[in-house]
Amino acid sequence: MAAEQEVALNLLSSNYDVIAALPANVKKRVCALKKLQLESIKIESEFYRRVHELELEFEQKFKPFFDARRAIVTGEKEPTEAECDASILEGISPEQAQTLANAVAADPSATGIKDFWLNALKTHDLVAESIEEHDLPILSFLIDVTTTGTTDPMGFKLEFHFATNPYFKNSVLTKTYVLDFEPEEEALLSFDGPHVVRVIGDTIDWVDGKNVTKKAVKKKQKKGANAGKFLTKTVKADSFFNFFDPPKSKDERNEDEDDEQAEEFLELDYELGQALRDTVIARAVLFYTGELQSDDMFDFPGEDDEEGPSDFSDDDE
């Protein structure tokens, strides 16, 4: 039994030998530090709750800017000259900006910014991984993505706003993340902030024959009365729109489902939701222009690299 306990301790701590060599009185002091750590986690949990409350407060301050962004993207509003007083790309000179601005003549028939959100989503690596070729024409109808914090239950929701399109009848697709801000009793020391406990996605009202999340496959039967015949079966297809059919929470799963794998899928889904909420929605124009990548926040082209807009020349055509 002692050997088994030692193996378990070795798995728990990579510093097992260091801990084992400590005098008994020093070990007691380490235990005291562990208790202090446990007590501080309660404060950390309170901190994250306060942060959530602060996010809710500041949502109202950000809303006018996001509303103005939507109006420009959809063509509901044409910005004034004064409102356009910003460089289209960071790190280029005024002369380069002027050359870039005049590269293509104005088109009076062009309204808003076509495919703004499609291109912003495609630039974020994590989001782009979920987008398939057959999703692109559908995402061309995406006109806005918004986020709202919730208090009952605690969490946040994402809303994807679509123009009328030939693919589905929903004008808005919503996904809600329910979060727990309390550390799990069985894993107090691993607490690193709120964790997802449930995800709720809208049911997409697909137009007949347009559902890209399903595909028909033919399979030849090997046994039974239909042996040798091909039967058509509908299976799940890879698609960005599976985002609205989220993984099940612990309480929603069947007993025969793999809890560990399901929890991993749930965490990956939450990671994608956080990326959309915290980066893509907040700084969509920088993803649209390609100045911001998912792995180098605020590392604008031309600041540190020799390549990029800094190489843009007035002589380039």
Q: Is residue 102 part of a domain?
A: no
Q: Is residue 101 part of a domain?
A: no
Q: Considering only residues 17 and 76, tell me which one the structure prediction assigns the higher pLDDT.
A: 76
Q: Is residue 176 part of a domain?
A: yes
Ramachandran category for residue 240: left, alpha or beta (phi over 0 → left; psi -120 to 50 → alpha): alpha
Domain that holds residue 254: 2-75+111-282
Q: Is residue 154 part of a domain?
A: yes
Q: Is residue 85 part of a domain?
A: no
Q: Count of domains in the chain?
A: 1
What does the DSSP 8-state code read for residue 152?
Answer: T
Per-residue pLDDT of 117-159, as tens digits, reads 999 999 999 999 999 999 999 999 999 999 999 998 899 999 9
Q: Is residue 311 part of a domain?
A: no
Give the closest residue to 139 by CA, choosing from 163, 174, 113: 163
Whether cis (ω within 30° of 0) applies to the bond prior to 23 is no
Per-residue pLDDT of 155-211, as tens digits, reads 999 999 999 999 999 999 999 999 999 888 777 888 888 889 999 999 999 999 999
Residue 300: what are its φ and ψ, rounded to 5°?
Answer: -75, 140
Distant-in-sequence, close-in-space partners of 106: CB < 8 Å, separation ≥ 6: none
Per-residue pLDDT of 220-279, as tens digits, reads 676 766 666 767 788 899 999 999 998 887 767 666 666 677 888 888 999 999 999 999
CA distance 74 to 196: 33
Q: Considering only residues 294 and 46, tell me which one the structure prediction assigns the higher pLDDT.
A: 46
- Beta-bridge partners for 214: 236
pLDDT at 302 over 80: no
- When the pLDDT of each residue in the chain is averaged and rounded to a whole number, the result is 86
Mean pLDDT value across residues 85-99: 87
Per the confidence metrics, is the pTM higher than 0.85?
A: no
Token match 């809600």: residue?
A: 176
Q: Considering only residues 269 and 3, tell me which one the structure prediction assigns the higher pLDDT.
A: 269
Q: Considering only residues 234 and 76, tell me which one the structure prediction assigns the higher pLDDT.
A: 76
Give the closest residue to 144 by CA, choosing from 66, 76, 199: 66
CA distance 274 to 194: 12
Q: Taking the CB of residue 153, how many other CB atoms lie within 10 A of it?
A: 13
Q: Is residue 234 part of a domain?
A: yes
Q: Is residue 88 part of a domain?
A: no
pLDDT at 314 over 80: no
Long-range own/partner contacts, residues 259-267 (CB < 8 A, 24 or more apart): 266/196, 266/199, 267/196
Q: Name the E strands within 87-167.
A: 142-151, 154-162
Which pair of structure tokens corresponds to residue 155?
A: 């969490």
CATH number of 189's domain: 3.30.1120.90
The H-or-E segment that residue 57 falls in is: helix 24-74
Sheet holding 195-201, edge to edge: 142-151, 154-162, 172-180, 195-201
pLDDT of residue 294: 62
